[in-house]
A = this chain, B = another copy of it.
Amino acid sequence: MGRPPRAAIVGAGHTRFGALPEGPRRLVRDAVDQAVASVDRGVDRESIQELFLSTLGFSGWQLGNAASIAAEEAGRPGLPAVRVENACASGGFALRLAVDAVASGRQDLVLVVGLEKMTDVPHPRRRYWLGVSGDTEWERLAGLTFAGVYGLMAARYAAEYGPVREALSEVAVKNHAHGVLNPNAHFQKAVTREQVSAGPPVAAPLGLYDCCPVSDGAAALLVARPDVARRFTDSPVYIVGSGAGSDHLAVQERSSLTRIDASRAAAEEAFRGAPFDRKRVDLLEVHDCFTIAELLALEDLGFSPRGGAGKLTLSGATRLGGRLPVNPDGGLKAKGHPIGATGVSQAYEVFLQLRGQAGARQVGDAQRALTHNVGGSGATAAVHLFSGG
């Protein structure tokens, strides 16, 4: 049976992802308003007891102390509020700590908000910001970008396991196909393997279509203590496992370029004592910031043998309608990747899927799901397990 649920999601909201006209305050407000409106039996905003904000502050808009602004825009100035930052994994870690706040009995109902405003920023050093999550001392300032790191990973993967171009392209094709079904996705346009493979080079062997876009967006979750969840809805989505790991920030100090040990450790912790094992998971939301990252994730999380993720992907198993749909919302690749919002957005998708509300992209009778959120190129990772009510 495993341990009882630690928390329950009772409401969730999500803005469009993309190059949006809305500023960061408005994005927060829209996501929270939607989350509040989504609660089946309604919720009084005054009953929210704490706020967890996940943001890199990419834009330079408000680099420090931004949590109180999120409380203002949530309509609750004065609410205890804290910012959690682990680069691209900020959202997964904010959820992990929000779960603790209710699981410890301290709070009944808390709000998790993920935000990034990455486009249309007046800051003169915009290109500087994304890199701040890589190793500054020995890698970033020497010119290694995130695309560069993942390019190295893809090249090494091919050297160890054989040609990978077709599988990488299929990841992009699949996630773009899923994005077409998601009205919030940045890209809602299908691509072909030929288009992907012929894309302009970015960091060999990765081309333009192997990279997720730079997006604006926000997402929000209402997280309750399990024993009070049914005050809000008959269909809570329970959080039944949480795991995290880290690794050396500098890629050159890691043991391998073809796996992300932080992800492996996070999955191990999440499944320890969980009420189900990998075989019973119905869908995955994994961190596909680059196409190679989705292949690594399938292996690191234990859903494919080492070197086997390309074959699994090419078999169609990870498509909607396949045996184990991966990133039904389009993933970072097509849905977009507003840094701080991504981990929260993954849980939003699971909330819809496990309640049968995912519309055209619904995964059959989905009951159990996993989310996987990576910080930078694998310095941090968070994994959560969910089950339907």
Contact = CB atoms under 8 A, between A and B. Distances in A.
Interface residues on A, range: 35 or more
A88 B80 CA distance: 15
A64 B132 CA distance: 5
A100 B100 CA distance: 5
Interface stretch (A27-35, A211-219, A241-249): A241-249
A93 interface: yes
A111 to B, nearest CB: 12
Contacts of A85: 64-65, 83-85
A226 interface: no
B82 A64 contact: no
A327 interface: no
A101 interface: yes
A81 interface: yes
A326 B273 CA distance: 46
B87 A380 contact: no
Contact of A65 (B6, B96, B375): B375
Contacts of A181: none
Number of copies of chain A assembled together: 2
A205 to B, nearest CB: 25
Contacts of A65: 85-87, 132-134, 249, 375-376, 379-380
Interface stretch (A40-48, A261-269, A295-303): A261-269
Interface stretch (A11-19, A68-76, A328-336, A346-354): A68-76
A61 interface: yes
A204 interface: no
Given A65-B134, A68-B380, A81-B86, 13 more contacts: A50-B244, A63-B132, A63-B136, A64-B85, A65-B132, A65-B375, A69-B249, A79-B246, A80-B266, A81-B244, A82-B97, A84-B85, A97-B97
Interface of A: 6, 50, 56, 61-69, 71-72, 77-87, 93, 96-97, 99-101, 103-106, 132-137, 242-249, 261-262, 265-266, 269, 375-376, 379-380
